[in-house]
Structure 1
Amino acid sequence: MKLIKIQAINFRSVEDSGEFQIGDLTCLVGKNEAGKTAILHAIQGIAPSDGDYAYDKTRDYPRRYLSKFQERHPNGESPVAKSWWQLEVDDIEALEDFLGADVLEKTEVIITSYIGRENAWSIPLNEEECIRKLQARHGLNAKEKGDIKQAKTIKDALAALKALTERSEAQTAFMQAIEKFRDGNPVLAAIDLLNKQKPTFFYTSHFERMSGEISLNQLAADKKSGKISSGDKIFLDFLEYAGTTIEELRDAAKHEELVAQCEGASNDITDEIFEFWSQNDALAIKIEINEGRPNDPHPFNNGKIAKIRIENKHHRVTVPLSERSAGFVWFFSFLAQFKQLKKSAGKAIILLDEPGLTLHGKAQSDLLRYIEERILPEHQVIYTTHSPFMVPAQRLEDVRVVEDVVDYRDPRRPIVKGTKVSADVLSVDKDTLFPLQAHLGYEITQSLFVGQNCLLVEGPSDVVYLQVVSRALQARGRSGLDERWTICPTGGLDKVWSFSSLFRGNNLNIAVLCDYGKGDKSKVERLRQSQILKSERVLTASDFTEKSESDVEDLFDSTFYCALVNEALGLKEGEITAEKAAAADQSTCRIVKQVEALCRTLPANTLDFGHYVPADYLMRNPQILDGEGQPVTGTLDRFEKVFKALNCFLD
């Protein structure tokens, strides 16, 4: 049986969640106090794997209506969860073996769980067809069928058979078969059969951490008393996960045999854990069995002691598991627990309440990958989260948003509608959607294709200059910017660092070409030392101009650039010259700053000058680079040096 849909009703903060689909993996996203945990507990009560869990009227019925419970439910029964189930092949075969082929009108059943009574089932069973198939199975002839031909239900058929003074052998066999049905009812018989097929719900929220050290003597005593701690239980699960047991390690007759057992278990668990833990690939798991030392704390001061130590190959040191980060210990424990899940939960649907809260965002992605690759093949999983990194990127159709809805259309009398679950993300508030929006933003930026080889520049004018001059050089048979480079403007040197960090996650080949002014020097050095990029891949315009400060515009011959500005602004030839510009601002050698200063002394119609104005003109008039004079050739020579340097960074 596979769970396909749920509706929670009158449970804690839920008045009516609405019907929502359940898939192999279902992610319930919502902010704190939205009612995500209430939804999980409502589902858990359908068939809890923990026999101690049951709905409780006082605890679970919506508190604001509790005083009216008897009035609203005179029979003391209140529905909590309506669940729809798709019967699978083995379920259908079991029913047909018992009741006959084609007795089901459809392969979907409904189970409703209640406060105050047992579950109610709705099974689309055709009783008349069931009678016909059972009669055929037991070989009733036409006369024998005629004795009960008026029966429309199994109960009617049983009554008719019992009323006969004499029954044939076939009729007797038929009667004995249907007497096995509970209360002579095939629907109840089907319920009894499917109830054995139905998965239970395994709920967990505490995610205990594993003990990293165990006294075998103490463990033996705890086993005898039936009081094994949860941390020690996970340790035992972990050893079995690794392919060994405490008994095997304890009973090894020879030292080498013990060493081999420990090393084999260590290697197995290391391979499994670090297939998913991507935060640090220099770690290894070590299992040790030693004798307790007198000065160690009780109970680790005598007898054999089993310990898990984590080796860091970078630092060449091993430390106890307990001294690793809380996130690593949690992840380690989670994997050990769920590897052994089948032993405790059997055929179960897994309900996880806020898993991975102590994990770094990337480690939460590792956890989600573990759930998808290791748990989903055998179990449906429903989990809650408010973390963007626990939203399944490739399965957004499996995300359901959870919100506590209050209607404020009349602010004097707000109407509380309770917790709602929906796949319609357009209908919920921005706080509820935040994890989903944040995740989508993260995924979009991580998957944004800017080119395998990405050249980061500061602004759009830089993009134009590099592309136009590159084409001019290539037209002359000289070296231009390799077409494998994708040029990406960042919006300024301050943002180059952020862009580099952002695109680094895609394993792109990144280089930077930036301006270099008085306020830029420390930023450039910070970028070079950040290890986000290799330092030699951070190029500045000054590297090619022999000036202490330079913009990309300084790669142009100053005479050429000033002539370009005159054309772009519609000025007379010679109105802006390199000499006039240098005189206008003697505090800098950057041609753009000098031209800006000179333009401020000119009539108002020239105040439209900006970095992009001459770039736009050059893009529309690239033929001005076709000349052979020194201003053109000098410009091309400098740009060619830049392109050659950048192209060296390509594989």
Structure 2
Amino acid sequence: MKLTKVQVTNFRSVEDSGEFHVGALTCLVGKNEAGKTAILNAIQGIAPSDDDYEYDKTRDYPRRYLSKFQERHPKEVSPVAQSWWQLEDDDTEALEDLLGADVLESNEIIITSHIGRGNTWTIRVNEKECISKLQARHGLNVKDKGDLKQVKTVKDALTTLKGLPERTEAQTALMQAIEKFRDGSPVLAAIDLLNERKPTFFYTSHFERMSGEISLNQLAEDKKHGKISSGDKIFLDFLEYAGTTIEELRDAAKHEELVAQCEGASNDITDEIFEFWSQNDALAIKIEINEGRPQDKPPFNSGKIAKIRIENKHHRVTVPLSERSAGFVWFFSFLAQFKQLKKSAGKAIILLDEPGLTLHGKAQSDLLRYIEERILPEHQVIYTTHSPFMVPAQRLEDVRVVEDVVDYHDPRRPVVKGTKVSADVLSVDKDTLFPLQAHLGYEITQSLFVGQNCLLVEGPSDVVYLQVVSRALQARGRTGLDERWTICPTGGLDKVWSFSSLFSGNNLNMAVLCDYGKGDKSKVERLRQSQILKSERVLTASDFTEKPESDIEDLFDSAFYCALANQALGLKDGEITVEKASAADEKTCRIVKQVEALCRTLPADTPDFGHYVPAEYLLRNPQILDGEDDSVTGTLDRFEKVFKALNSFLA
């Protein structure tokens, strides 16, 4: 069974999260107090791996509505997490073995968890088809089937079979098969089967770290009474993965046998950690078992004591795990947990709450690599973060934004809508978007180091226009922007100078494509004369438009750009035209400035116009470049000249 979609309602800060899709990896991004942990805890309750976890009405129902719980839910039952699941091939085969082939009307099932009640399931079973398949499986002939001719459900069939004065051998076999179904229902039988096969949800947070020093006697006693701390539980997971137990370590009769077990566990986890931990490769894990010393603090002053120590080969010293950085201790604990999880947990779905929060940014990237390479092949993973380094670079489609929404349309009465989850990053506030923006900025900065050929432009709309039009040209077999170029937005012409100065010593092949307006001319000339870049590699939009001043937008045919702006703002045809735009600002020939001026004269309820608005629309609707009218062909011709000029700078 594979989880595909979730909706959380009436749980802590969440009134209705909205439905959101879940893939192999799902990253929930949001600022502190947005409700990310609440979303994970709600999902966890569907099938918790921790037997002690269950919803609590007082703790989990939205506090502002708690006094009205019975009024809102007369049956004392409130749904929390509705989850959609896709049956996998082995699930379908198991159901067919139980009920017959083609009995399920859909491979999608729905499981809903509740406060005040267990889970409810929605499974669509064709009972008439089920009766037919079960009759065929047990060899009922025409006469046998005749007694069941009027039944419509499997339960009716069971009642009819039980009421027959005499039953044939085939009828008896059919009756006995149906009697194995709970209440004689194929739906309940399917639920019982799938309930055993559904994944559990394994939840862990950034707070959980392995204990570095363990009294084996005390831990055995805690284990007996079910009072094991989370740190000690991770230590037990580690021992189980290593193939031993605290009892075996405590009662080992042979010293060499004990040493061998400890060294084997140490070597294995060392190899695993340092395949991913890139912060320091001179470390090794050591596990020591010694007798407690009288001067040590209880309970470490008697009996066998297990200590995890970290050896630094450079400094030739070992220190207790507890004295290493909080980030390393967490990373070690995380890997120890999941080494054991892969061994014992089956198809668990992993819920990670702010993983790696204490890690350095580079170490967070290591952690993300571990998740993708080691966990994803066998488990679905849902995790929360507000760190840009934990945003999956190549899987932005798996990012969901989490926001605690308050509607301030009426400032006197703000409406609290609670935590929402969405894949639409354009609908959230700047603080929620910060990890995504920082991640993209980091990726861009990194590209300046690793991209041999860097094309510097002023803003994100320039990137969109160049990429979309390049693809349109390439689709026609014409010249687009060579893929060797890495396009880097700098944030404006003023910053092109800084970017160029900063990275000119890195042996990069750089070129610039920028706007050219009244205030830009001296800046462009200064850049061309600076020797930072060869002057011919500083291109302006005016070089290709035959206009004294031009933005990137002027590479478009004016009629095409006006139509694009019109569509992007959702206006009626003819609201924005070349003639109206030109009349709105006769002092400039720059089309984007003219459209900007025209939009200021439109009704107040007209959507705001910004440079990126048409770019975003073109990104979503690239097919508008498929036409053959003059406005499209003129646009493509002009951009092709730009691309040919830029491509000529490549070796």
- On whether the aligned pair clears a TM of 0.5, the verdict is yes
The equivalences for 1:215-614 within 5 A come to 215-242=215-242, 246=246, 259-342=259-342, 345-448=345-448, 451-452=451-452, 499=502, 510=506, 611-612=526-527
Corresponding letter in the other structure for 1:82: Q
Measured in 2, the distance between the counterparts of 1:379 and 1:342 equals 9
Measured in 1, the distance between the counterparts of 2:361 and 2:524 equals 46
Corresponding letter in the other structure for 2:178: I
Over 3 Å counting, the alpha-carbon distance change for 1:316 and 1:96 in structure 2 is same
Measured in 2, the distance between the counterparts of 1:346 and 1:619 equals 62
1:453 to partner: Cα distance: 9.7
The equivalent residue for 1:70 is 70
Over 3 Å counting, the alpha-carbon distance change for 1:317 and 1:138 in structure 2 is same
The equivalent residue for 1:19 is 19
1:258 to partner: Cα distance: 5.1
Measured in 2, the distance between the counterparts of 1:611 and 1:185 equals 82
Corresponding letter in the other structure for 1:365: S
Over 3 Å counting, the alpha-carbon distance change for 1:311 and 1:499 in structure 2 is farther
Measured in 2, the distance between the counterparts of 1:217 and 1:270 equals 26
Measured in 1, the distance between the counterparts of 2:117 and 2:225 equals 36
Corresponding letter in the other structure for 1:510: N
1:224 to partner: Cα distance: 5.0
Over 3 Å counting, the alpha-carbon distance change for 1:156 and 1:491 in structure 2 is same
Could you give the per-residue CA deviations for residues 532-590 of structure 1, whole angstroms, max 9, x where no partner exists?
Answer: xxxxxxxxxxxxxxxxxxxxxxxxxxxxxxxxxxxxxxxxxxxxxxxxxxxxxxxxxxx
SS of match in other structure, 1:121: strand
The equivalent residue for 2:210 is 210
Over 3 Å counting, the alpha-carbon distance change for 1:432 and 1:613 in structure 2 is closer
Measured in 1, the distance between the counterparts of 2:92 and 2:111 equals 17
Measured in 1, the distance between the counterparts of 2:259 and 2:15 equals 59
1:324 to partner: Cα distance: 0.9
The equivalent residue for 1:634 is none
The equivalent residue for 2:60 is 60
Over 3 Å counting, the alpha-carbon distance change for 1:203 and 1:611 in structure 2 is closer
The equivalent residue for 1:176 is 176
Over 3 Å counting, the alpha-carbon distance change for 1:104 and 1:446 in structure 2 is same
Corresponding letter in the other structure for 1:50: D
1:276 to partner: Cα distance: 1.2
Measured in 2, the distance between the counterparts of 1:403 and 1:609 equals 42
Corresponding letter in the other structure for 2:372: E
Contact 2:206 2:357 in 1 (8 A): no
Over 3 Å counting, the alpha-carbon distance change for 1:240 and 1:137 in structure 2 is closer
Over 3 Å counting, the alpha-carbon distance change for 1:347 and 1:614 in structure 2 is closer
1:61 to partner: Cα distance: 2.3
Could you give the per-residue CA deviations for residues 400-456 of structure 1, whole angstroms, max 9, x where no partner exists?
Answer: 1011112222222222221111111111111111111111211222134665599x9
Could you give the per-residue CA deviations for residues 301-326 of structure 1, whole angstroms, max 9, x where no partner exists?
Answer: 44443322212122222211111111
Contact 2:391 2:436 in 1 (8 A): yes
Contact 2:50 2:202 in 1 (8 A): yes
Over 3 Å counting, the alpha-carbon distance change for 1:163 and 1:610 in structure 2 is closer
Measured in 1, the distance between the counterparts of 2:295 and 2:453 equals 60
1:7 to partner: Cα distance: 0.8
Measured in 2, the distance between the counterparts of 1:495 and 1:368 equals 32
Over 3 Å counting, the alpha-carbon distance change for 1:289 and 1:54 in structure 2 is closer
Contact 1:85 1:110 in 2 (8 A): yes
Corresponding letter in the other structure for 2:436: L
Q: Which has the larger radius of gyration?
A: 1
Corresponding letter in the other structure for 1:415: V
Contact 1:453 1:510 in 2 (8 A): no
1:365 to partner: Cα distance: 1.3
The equivalent residue for 2:3 is 3
Corresponding letter in the other structure for 1:22: V
Measured in 1, the distance between the counterparts of 2:21 and 2:122 equals 18
1:35 to partner: Cα distance: 1.2
Measured in 2, the distance between the counterparts of 1:609 and 1:252 equals 78
The equivalent residue for 1:118 is 118
Measured in 1, the distance between the counterparts of 2:251 and 2:74 equals 63
1:130 to partner: Cα distance: 0.3
Over 3 Å counting, the alpha-carbon distance change for 1:414 and 1:313 in structure 2 is same
SS of match in other structure, 1:411: coil
Measured in 1, the distance between the counterparts of 2:331 and 2:29 equals 21
SS of match in other structure, 2:421: strand
Deviates more, 1:203-212 or 1:224-233: 224-233
Corresponding letter in the other structure for 1:306: A
Corresponding letter in the other structure for 1:314: H
SS of match in other structure, 2:327: helix
Corresponding letter in the other structure for 1:160: T
Measured in 2, the distance between the counterparts of 1:609 and 1:342 equals 58
SS of match in other structure, 1:416: strand
Measured in 2, the distance between the counterparts of 1:140 and 1:357 equals 64
SS of match in other structure, 1:81: strand
Contact 2:212 2:321 in 1 (8 A): yes
1:164 has 2:160 as partner: no
Corresponding letter in the other structure for 1:159: T
SS of match in other structure, 1:370: helix
Contact 1:243 1:268 in 2 (8 A): no
Measured in 2, the distance between the counterparts of 1:322 and 1:27 equals 30
Contact 1:80 1:114 in 2 (8 A): yes
The equivalent residue for 1:195 is 195
Over 3 Å counting, the alpha-carbon distance change for 1:328 and 1:618 in structure 2 is closer
SS of match in other structure, 1:124: coil
Measured in 1, the distance between the counterparts of 2:524 and 2:180 equals 95
Gaps of 5+ in 1: 457-483, 504-508, 513-606, 621-651
Corresponding letter in the other structure for 1:348: A
Contact 2:35 2:404 in 1 (8 A): yes
The equivalent residue for 2:613 is none
Q: Percent identity?
A: 84
Corresponding letter in the other structure for 2:29: V
Contact 1:241 1:269 in 2 (8 A): no
Measured in 2, the distance between the counterparts of 1:51 and 1:372 equals 28
The equivalent residue for 1:185 is 185
1:63 to partner: Cα distance: 2.4
Q: TM-score, normalised by structure 2?
A: 0.68
Deviates more, 1:241-250 or 1:407-416: 241-250
Measured in 1, the distance between the counterparts of 2:308 and 2:379 equals 29
The equivalent residue for 1:536 is none
SS of match in other structure, 2:377: coil
Could you give the per-residue CA deviations for residues 202-243 of structure 1, whole angstroms, max 9, x where no partner exists?
Answer: 222364322222334444444555544433332333344455
Measured in 1, the distance between the counterparts of 2:239 and 2:497 equals 51
The equivalent residue for 2:461 is none
Gaps of 5+ in 2: 457-483, 509-521, 537-651
The equivalent residue for 1:96 is 96
Over 3 Å counting, the alpha-carbon distance change for 1:619 and 1:401 in structure 2 is closer
Over 3 Å counting, the alpha-carbon distance change for 1:361 and 1:91 in structure 2 is same
Over 3 Å counting, the alpha-carbon distance change for 1:492 and 1:182 in structure 2 is closer
Over 3 Å counting, the alpha-carbon distance change for 1:241 and 1:178 in structure 2 is closer
SS of match in other structure, 2:395: helix
Contact 2:215 2:304 in 1 (8 A): yes
Q: After TM superposition, what 4+ stretches of structure 1 lie above 3 angstroms from structure 2? A: 215-230, 239-265, 289-305, 342-347, 448-454, 488-500, 509-512, 607-620
